């Protein structure tokens, strides 16, 4: 997966490119915690001389050897500090990423419908991304998060210049859901007056 996205990106980058955006879970590895993947992504950003935003896995590893998984996005800068900025998805897909209403009945967390059972992140974030002599403020929204007005509103109130929707809608190939997701995501741009890259 990483080799495919690297090849596609490297073939289309030029000296004016400041930012490359990959979809949700384009890096299906523990990006921040596994050194070899972190190094591969950092080397790629340095080679193309641009920042990279990608979806990937993140987990908090607990003392009892359990882990708390998150659906995440990462900003990798070309400067080479090997410390990525991380965003943990706040609005999770019901029954796909988490059984809903666990805040009311915690026992629901024990149900297994084959979902990923991610933990939700706590807040929408905004990252400064360097551009030619300046920077822009980018707010990542992962997949269906972009259908929530409050996600765009929170990003706008944190002075985001650009909304970025990392998604992979091939799950919906041949259905109207791909177009519906796109149209709903575009509403965040209309509501906030910010551009949306998807």
Catalytic residues: 24, 89, 143
In the chain, helix, strand, coil percent, each to 5?
30, 30, 40
Decide: 23 and 166 in contact? Cβ < 8 Å: yes
**Which residues does 145 contact at the CB level (< 8 Å), separation at least 6?**
89, 90, 91, 151, 165
């Amino acid at each position: 997966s990483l080799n495919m996205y690297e090849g596609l990106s490297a073939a289309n980058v030029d000296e004016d490119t400041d930012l490359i955006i990959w979809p949700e879970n384009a890096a299906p590895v523990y990006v921040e915690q596994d050194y070899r993947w972190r190094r591969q992504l950092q080397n790629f950003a340095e080679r193309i001389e641009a920042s990279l935003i990608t979806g990937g896995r993140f987990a908090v590893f607990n003392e009892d050897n359990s882990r708390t998984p998150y659906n995440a996005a990462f900003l990798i800068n070309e400067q080479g500090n090997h410390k990525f900025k991380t965003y943990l998805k706040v609005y999770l897909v019901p029954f796909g990423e988490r059984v809903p209403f666990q805040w009311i009945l915690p026992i629901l967390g024990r149900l297994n419908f084959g979902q990923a059972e991610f933990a939700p992140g706590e807040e929408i974030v905004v990252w400064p991304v360097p551009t030619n002599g300046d920077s822009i403020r980018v707010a990542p929204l992962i997949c269906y998060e972009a259908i929530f007005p409050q996600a765009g509103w929170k990003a706008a109130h944190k002075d985001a210049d650009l909304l970025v929707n990392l998604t992979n809608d091939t799950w919906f190939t041949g259905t109207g859901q791909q177009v519906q997701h796109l149209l709903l995501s575009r509403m965040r741009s209309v509501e906030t007056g910010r551009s949306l890259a998807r």
